[in-house]
Amino acid sequence: MKFFKPTLVAIALVSIIGCTEQTKEETAVAAVLETEIQKQAYGLGASIGLYMERNLEEHTKMGVSLDKDLIVKGFVDSLNGKSLIEKEEVKTLLMSLDQSMKTKQKEMAEKAALASLEEGKKFLEDNAKKEGVTVTESGIQYLVMTAGKGEKPKATDTVKVHYKGTFLNGDTFDSSYDRNQPAVFPLNRVIKGWTEGVQLMSVGAKFKFTIPSDLAYGPAGNPPSIPGNSVLEFEIELLEIQKPDAPAEVGDKAPVK
C-alpha cells in the first residue's frame, strides 16, 4: 500500500475544509459553481479531498493520527509560496512517514496471519465433525450440496464454473454469481485446493469446500483481499468441462496460484 508522496501534501483541501466550514460558507462556495470551469476546479479539489480522507483513515487504523489543521496550513502556505519547510525536507519527511506506515502495516499483517492460523485450525476441527462433511487425505473438507451425473474433470482439463468464495465469518471476497459471469480456467492453474476438489465433482454438481490455508494462499495470503493463513470456503458449481484440445478462455477472476 502506498501512503504519502511529496505531491500529496495538497490533498487535504476539500475533504478537511468541507468538514469544518459552516453552512453559510458552504452556501457561498456553492454560489460560485455556475460555470463548467468552476465546477471542474471544485471537482478537482473534491477528488483530492476524497483521496486524502481514505489515506487518513488508513493512518488512523494503524495508530497514526495526523493533525488536519496542519495539513490544511501546509497546503495553503505552499500554495501561496510561504511553506515553512523546504521542498527537500518535505520529501524526506514524507518518505520517513511512508516507511513508518509500511512497517506498521507489516506488523499488523503478521499479527492477523497468526490469528487466522489459530482460528482456521479450530474451525477445521469443528467443521470436520459436521454431518455430511467429508475430509480428503490432503485435508480438504467438502459437503455435497447437489450431486451431478456427468463426467468428472481431470487436472489437465479446462472447466467452467460458478462459485462464491467466503471467509470463515461468512463475508464474501469473490463471486462469479455477483458478476453474473461463470469463470473459465485450466484446472491445473488455480490454487491446489481447487485443482484437487473440483476433480471430485461431476458436471452439474455443486459442492461446498472448506480449504486449509496451505492448499489456498498460504502464509502470504493474496493481498489486499485475503490475509495470510486464511482458511477459505467456496461454493462451486461445475457447469462444463473443456478438454485440452478445446480453446480456453481464462477468467481473470479465477483463484489462481
Q: How far is CA 187 from the centre of its chain?
A: 23
pTM for this predicted structure: 0.61
C-alpha cell, 136: 480428503
* Domain chopping of the chain, boundaries: 6-84, 130-242
More confident residue, 135 or 49: 135
Note the pLDDT of residue 31: 54
- Whether residue 37 has pLDDT greater than 80: yes
CA distances from 95 to 10, 31, 98, 119 (A): 16, 39, 5, 36
Note the pLDDT of residue 10: 39
The amino acid present at 122, given as its one-letter code, is K
C-alpha cell, 14: 476539500
More confident residue, 207 or 76: 207
Note the pLDDT of residue 255: 65
User: Angle at the Cα of 215 (from 236 to 174), degrees rounded to 5?
Assistant: 40
For residue 177, give the H/E element and its range: helix 176-179
- Whether residue 8 has pLDDT greater than 90: no
pLDDT digits (tens, 9 = 90+) for 185-228: 999 999 999 999 999 999 999 999 999 999 999 988 887 788 88
pLDDT digits (tens, 9 = 90+) for 109-119: 777 778 778 88
Name beta bridge partners: 233: 166, 210
- Interatomic CA distance for residues 141 and 207, integer angstroms: 10
Whether 254 and 198 have beta carbons less than 8 Å apart is answered as no
Assign 46 a pLDDT band (cuts: 50, 70, 90).
confident
- Whether residue 172 has pLDDT greater than 60: yes
Note the pLDDT of residue 48: 77
More confident residue, 134 or 64: 134
Note the pLDDT of residue 80: 82
The amino acid present at 247, given as its one-letter code, is P
pLDDT digits (tens, 9 = 90+) for 86-100: 888 888 888 888 888
* Burial class for 1, CB neighbours closer than 10 Å (0-12, 13-18, 19+): exposed
Q: Select from 3.40.1480.10, 3.10.50.40, 3.40.50.300, 2.40.110.10 the CATH code of 130-242.
A: 3.10.50.40
Whether 211 and 190 have beta carbons less than 8 Å apart is answered as no
H helix count then E strand count, the chain: 7, 7
Assign 26 a pLDDT band (cuts: 50, 70, 90).
low
How do strand 232-242 and strand 172-175 relate by DSSP bridges? Answer: unpaired
Mean of all residue pLDDT scores within the chain: 82
Whether 178 and 247 have beta carbons less than 8 Å apart is answered as no
